Amino acid sequence: MRYMTAGESHGPEEVAIIEGIPAGLTITAADINEQLARRQHGYGRGQRQVIETDTVTIMSGVRHQVTLGSPIALNVHNDDHNHWSKIMDPNSPATVENSMRKVLRPRPGHADLVGGMKYRHQADLRNVLERSSARETVMRVAVGAVAKKLLAALDIDVHGFVTNIGPASSDLTQLTKYKTLAELRAITESYPTRTLTATDDEAMREVIDQTKRQRDTVGGTVQVMATGVPAGLGSYVSADEKLDAKIARAIVGINAFKGVEFGGGFANATKYGSELMDEIYWSAERGFYRGANHLGGFEGGMTTGEMIVVRGVVKPIPTLYQPMQSVDIDTHENHRASTERSDTTAVTAAAVIAEAMVAIELAKAILDKFDTDSLSRLQEQVSAYREEIKHF
Ligand code: EPS
């Protein structure tokens, strides 16, 4: 399975093509739209989300709600394009009138300056920011929705939520209350900050409100968990086959993500080996299993069969209403950076995007190992494999 996205933030459409999804998977636009709505709704988003109601059109690869095995093409219209149709017009040459809203004062922390240098976009850094905008993540969530449907057909569930926004952290001890991700999902999706408790939600909303009053932005941390993942996805044999490494890349590849950890993560650095390794047990019902999950479901770049636990760190959005020191790329004079409309925080959306990226990497790993032509054959193979390792 592979995919590619295209689209500029204020261009006409966002698009994606996915190749390698087996035939026979039921998928509808409603399935995808449900995930797109989750990405849009979250505390701290800005005015753009009021303009957009992200809805997908399935252009190919699905017939009568079932995948054909051919490439699946998806698109999502940018409603805001109506306000930008001249500025983003692909067909007419640049004129004074359609080159308004030029960006010449790069924002520290954004791709503006280096992207301009790299692609020689000297006339207008908008040529950089339109694609580097996190608007593109709408398509990663759409692709992730397809991946999640495939995983659900194999009894694998994936869920992302918010563990921290600025100084407000969620109470992770609450996690032990939930036996399934479905139970956890019902809770975290009920809070506007997509976190674990009403108290955490209130504290996080207060941080966001305060940040907005200060005309600043704030980052945070998100956690993704996956259950039902069989042991042995990924491989130890080569560095680029390690599935935790692929997931790490996918997480840090999300706009504004600057770090990733698995299980106990960076805190493991202060532990002794005897405190940390997940001891091995066996029962006739479960086969091999672990007494704990400090390593987040991975050993040797392979899934252990325990829950996958991944966290990603999201930096604050670099577009500030109180812009920082920058330099005009035309005059080389000191100036405040350009301001664009922006969000106070996108951490609530980031949890949904990280969930999509983990789902995509898990789906790819499954399709690397098993049949990719037909869903029913894939299901047969995965269930035979589960039986085999249970009796190892
Ligand atoms: C973004 C800037 C804002 C966000 C956008 C990401 O867009 P605009 O400049 O149009 O206000 O709203 O995110 C989305 C549009 C989205 O759908 O998530 C940026 O610079 O990254």
102: exposed, middle or buried (C-beta count within 10 Å: 0-12, 13-18, 19+)? middle
CA of 196 to the centre of ligand 1 (A): 26
Does ligand 1 come within 6 angstroms of the Cβ of 48?
A: yes
Nearest CA to ligand 1 atom 18: 135
CA of 347 to the centre of ligand 1 (A): 13
Q: Is the pLDDT of residue 41 over 90?
A: no
CA of 344 to the centre of ligand 1 (A): 11
Q: Is the pLDDT of residue 47 over 90?
A: no
Q: Is the pLDDT of residue 338 over 90?
A: no
Buried b / exposed e along 40-65 (16+ C-beta atoms within 10 A): bebbbbbebbeebebebebeebbeee
Q: What percent of the chain has pLDDT over 70?
A: 100
Nearest CA to ligand 1 atom 5: 135
- Reference 15, options 140, 123, 160, 124; nearest CA is 140
CA of 48 to the centre of ligand 1 (A): 6
Average pLDDT over residues 117-141: 97
pLDDT of residue 10: 97
Q: pLDDT tens across 7-19, in order?
A: 999 999 999 999 9
Nearest CA to ligand 1 atom 13: 135
CB atoms inside a 10 Å sphere around CB 127: 19
Nearest CA to ligand 1 atom 2: 342
Nearest CA to ligand 1 atom 3: 342
Nearest CA to ligand 1 atom 16: 135
* Kind of pairing between the strands at 157-165 and 287-290: unpaired
CATH class given for the domain over 2-390 = alpha beta
Does ligand 1 come within 6 angstroms of the Cβ of 254?
A: no
**Which of the four pLDDT bands, split at 50, 70 and 90, describes residue 375?**
very high
Buried b / exposed e along 232-244 (16+ C-beta atoms within 10 A): bbbbeeeeeebbb
Q: Is the pLDDT of residue 236 over 90?
A: yes
Average pLDDT over residues 43-63: 93
Does ligand 1 come within 6 angstroms of the Cβ of 126?
A: no
pLDDT of residue 321: 86
Residue 13 identity (one-letter amino acid): E
pLDDT of residue 99: 87
Q: Is the pLDDT of residue 340 over 80?
A: no
Contact 5, 141 (CB under 8 A): no
Q: What percent of the chain has pLDDT over 90?
A: 93
Q: Is the pLDDT of residue 311 over 90?
A: yes
Q: pLDDT tens across 241-270, in order?
A: 999 999 999 999 999 999 999 999 999 999
Does ligand 1 come within 6 angstroms of the Cβ of 127?
A: no
Average pLDDT over residues 80-84: 95
**Which of the four pLDDT bands, split at 50, 70 and 90, describes residue 145?**
very high
279: exposed, middle or buried (C-beta count within 10 Å: 0-12, 13-18, 19+)? exposed
Q: Is the pLDDT of residue 105 over 90?
A: yes
On average, the pLDDT of the chain sits at: 96
Does ligand 1 come within 6 angstroms of the Cβ of 319?
A: yes
pLDDT of residue 238: 97
Average pLDDT over residues 95-106: 91
**Which of the four pLDDT bands, split at 50, 70 and 90, describes residue 226?**
very high
Q: Is the pLDDT of residue 97 over 90?
A: no
Does ligand 1 come within 6 angstroms of the Cβ of 133?
A: yes
Ligand 1 atom closest to the Cα of residue 54 is 17
Q: pLDDT tens across 173-190, in order?
A: 999 999 999 999 999 999
CA of 14 to the centre of ligand 1 (A): 13
